[in-house]
Structure 1
Amino acid sequence: MALPFLPGNTFQDPTRRKYHVSQSLGYKNGYALADRPEVGIGGDPLTVNHLTEEEINELNNKRPTLTYGQAKQAPPEDFVPAHVAFDKKVLKFDGYYKQTVHESPNEYFRVRPVVIFYYLEDDSISVVEPHVENSGMPQGKLIKRQRLPKNDQGDHWHWKDLNLDKTLTFYGKVFHVVGCDQWTAEFMASEGIELSSPSTIPPDPYIESRKQKAALKEFKTPSDFDKLKQFIELDRQVLRFYCIWDDRNNMFGELRPYIIQYYLVDDTVEICECHEPNDGRDPFPIFLRRQRLPKDRNNVESSFPSVVMELSNNEIKEWFAPKDFMIGETVVIYHRHFLIYDCDEFTRSYLYQKFGIKDFTPLDVKRQDRNGANKTDLPPYNGFGSLEDSLQSCLSLVPQPPKKDFIKMLENDHKILRFEAEMDSVKPEDRGRRFIISYRLADDMITIFEPPVRNSGNVSGKFLERTRVTKPTSTPEHPQFYGPQDLYIGARIQVFSHRFKIMDADDYVLRYLEARKDDFPGCEKTIESIRTLRGATGGASMKTSVKGAPMKVQRSPGDLQALLREVKTQLKKNNYINFSSLTDAFLQYDRNRSGTIDLNELKKVCHKQNLPLDDDVMQALINECGVDQNGQISHAGFMKFLTWD
């Protein structure tokens, strides 16, 4: 039995011989692994429970349950290190790089294929070039297995950065990836990375030349169609195509016509410029001199020293041929787009015999030129002045006054269509306000006048100066003005945020529109509304009375004589007639002092003396007074009629 651990009770065990600490650090496959010791100093067993960190966290987070206890959790998965999970798993990519050759007259560059290995175990990369027998170049491992830096920030290349048809830079050398093996494609797909389409390694020019030299010699009989025969058979035969160059996308550009001439004798092309009278261009007949025309002048090898050498016929890969010039096709010649829209008769026969083309329908390009080339974009209306005034400032540097239709102004001078309207407003104080709308036919302007009404509280007079009134649905760029066809009985018009309802119109409006139906399309509605208001159904017209003018009402048979007697009675009763004034008026119109006046002059006399006599009452009055054979009325007869009991 051990003694208590107190001062004076300690002693050294003479049987102990080991005092070293147990080893807790080891290596496996070159990696350091930490382990918990199982024995203490001297080999004594440790009685303390060794709990892992996961078990300690589980005990700390344990919560008791009431009914069935804590649910059994799934055992934690065992940790698998990367060197175990990805052991012997390598991604393989095929690629190549170009090596420039400076001191060889037979080659400019070499294409050297490589294999890129990516080790998933530790994200290391190695690059290996396959061995080729008798190549004369050192081959094998170009970059040994290591983690390759990606940039200057300390990042390294990862398998997520690899893909097909992609350029990789390792230590300043550029590699182009073209393919991979099946296992690599399946691994990348399982990780959600979509690979690009694979490509092939371009051939090495020097290797191809060596293969051609080593191949068996083959001889071909030359064709019987030589240059001399081409010159003899195709001399003076030219294909002519009509085209246009659309340069409207550039500033001051336009549609310009040209003629493309293809010479069959030597396959050369010439472009001629078509001039028009007063087109403002210098009279140069040739736009492009006669020459062989390459399709793509820039499609040359990258190793070609374009800085010190010009292109020759050996570097051009493809030339323009007659099959490239067809109606409706756009030909790009030195970055200019030419649209071919027609050709001549010889060209049509040649294309039919050579290529079997039957459709030679020309394109309509003149209509496009007329509508598009001269189009001018006008700025929006700024609201100052009328639309015509603002438009004149855009058409010339020094604005000119807008042109007026003087013939229309002379024909319609002092011709005004008057309408009676009522304000259509939600305000109670504006309801019932009467206005007179005057439409001037000479310049299509509208004037609105409000007659004075006593104790109305509104300032009467001119409500709107003469101006052209636009419809509310029109735009400032495309205005639509009110016309006679829009002014009919019951119509509601909007004049600068004020709405008016037309209630009546004068007789001149009806007579004018009936006589000129063809000049105002759509005025039938206005004519019909006025006829309906007047009651024009074939009988006598019912007209409203106007203050200060004779009453015009339809008489019933037999009441005309009673009306005459009533008029005479009222005149005598009110002492309305001033005989001296009537005599002066008669003498004013009776210039020859014959004692008689004309019927029209009699009407003027009555109106001057404020006698409210209608036409039918005036006719009855004349019949009572008596008319001589010359159609004259005597002064004595008229005065006798008024004084007769």
Structure 2
Amino acid sequence: MVSNPVHGLPFLPGTSFKDSTKTAFHRSQTLGYRNGYAIVRRPTVGIGGDRLQVNQLSQAELDELANKAPILTYGEPKQAPPADFIPAHVAFDKKVLKFDAYFQEDVPISTEEQYRIRQVNIYYYLEDDSMSVIEPVVENSGIPQGKLIRRQRLAKNDVGDHYHWKDLNRGINITIYGKTFRIVDCDQFTQIFLESQGIELNPPEKMALDPYTELRKRPLRKYVTPSNFDQLKQFLTFDKQVLRFYAIWDDRDSMFGECRAYIIHYYLMDDTVEIREVHERNDGRDPFPLLMNRQRMPKVLVENAKNFPQCVLEISDHEVLEWFTAKDFIVGKPLTILGRTFFIYDCDPFTRQYYKEKFGIADLPPVDVSKQEPPPVKQELPPYNGYGLVEDSAQNCFALIPKAPKKDVIKMLVNDNKVLRYLAALESPIPEDKNRRFIFSYFLATDMISIFEPPVRNSGIIGGKYLGRTRVVKPHSSVDNPIYYSPGDFFIGAVIEVFGHRFVILDTDEYVLKYMESNPAQYSPEALSSVQSLIQKREAPASKLENKQTEEDPGVQELEALIDAIQKQLKDYSCKDNIREAFQTCDKEASGYVDRETFFKICESFNVPIDDSLVKELIRICSHGEGKINYYNFVRAFSN
């Protein structure tokens, strides 16, 4: 092992020596991996594996160096002077972007061209973001050219945004004042400017050419020698031989279109076609016999013949690849001639014989194209408008002058003057409505309902007619198909909803009970049981009261005499029939007794003369020991 000759020499200024025996100069690795991620690690040895010098600074000195600001040593840094402001009209003065574009203009009147291509230059002025459109002037063009759009800021959308140079590019369409311009290319300055601003330009496109201008540049048509086809022989052979086909043109899919009949004649002598109209008597059309004059009809045109002026010049063999011949007219197949599609449904006997001999088609059955009556349109009624009954509103759709709907006369004759009456209470959270009573009248002849509220004196509510005669619709029924209330819906305890108001049936008259017994099929078991319970309640208090009076009151003769005397004395009293109903309404338990306060309140409302001596004696006899009064015997004195 060779020892280092410079080992141990002092490292004084000017006396530093290089170790000539050192051969390793590699640096230690400062990157490592932990859990699959690359991390930085501090090297443990220096270059060539030498030991690193230990940092001799203390932690306090390291903190001081870390917190030391260089501004204390070198002073405040000097700020760079601001750049000079250059306005846009100076920076972009005389800098204009130029784009080559074109737009298509329709020519609806001309017979020589359908549209026109007009080439324009679009200029964008960077100094104020304005634009102008200029069309190069073509001499003797007959079109106003030059400046199409003067220099101005152009709107990009309805919001109010204007076009910017960032919106312009090659191969895009821009719309200016309703015209769509196609940008195809730009000049060199525009390309350099847009690329310097980071805009990726689309590849340039070819400028569209005007078809009419290109057609004018073509050379004149040259005539060629006619073919050696002997037309004279065809004329002499097939003279006066005509194929007749019967066809229709069905145009009913378009507005005001119809199916019309035609006769197609094919002349074998010169292969010409003629289309005749078939007129019917009083069809309202002008008597023009021909839809198309006799002429040769092209079947396939050459590609360039689409722009041929057919309205001015006749089409020759140079513009046609194939003409219509006799083999194109087949019975049962459609045929398109000059944009109209004809359906051939039949031909004459000579035509059938010709096809059999010429083409070997023996059978050409006719096709039935007779007009078929369209299926009847189902009449649907419009939705109900809410006025009157549904039957009345429906009559407006059946005739111009509406008539009243038909009535069931037999039902009206059988049920004439038959009325079912019910006593009902209003179901309402308002305290004033709890004591209100209503009389429902159901008319069996018309199934109508009327509601009457008996007036009660000093009640604060005006009684009288509450609802006129009308048919009431059940809740939760559809408007177009309403379900009305029937007699089976009225029974004791039933809830009847009339135009948003709910009523509870409390009582019925004797006629309703007899009607329900004679027509039990119209009522449910619940309704029948409610009526039976009502009859039992009415009979129980009466029998109980009679037995009680017979047992407890020995002076029955005295009571009867007193009742007779009161009836003779008050024979002109006007409210006799309503007193019993008032007492029964207050006696919800049907016990035959009411308290003294309710008794005198009812007597006061009906102006009963309670100060009379006979009436006072009757009240004393009918009084009960528990503070109640038996109104049964009391009402007998005021009834018929």
- In the superposition, the TM-score normalised over structure 2's length comes to 0.42
Instruction: State TM-score, norm by structure 1.
Output: 0.41
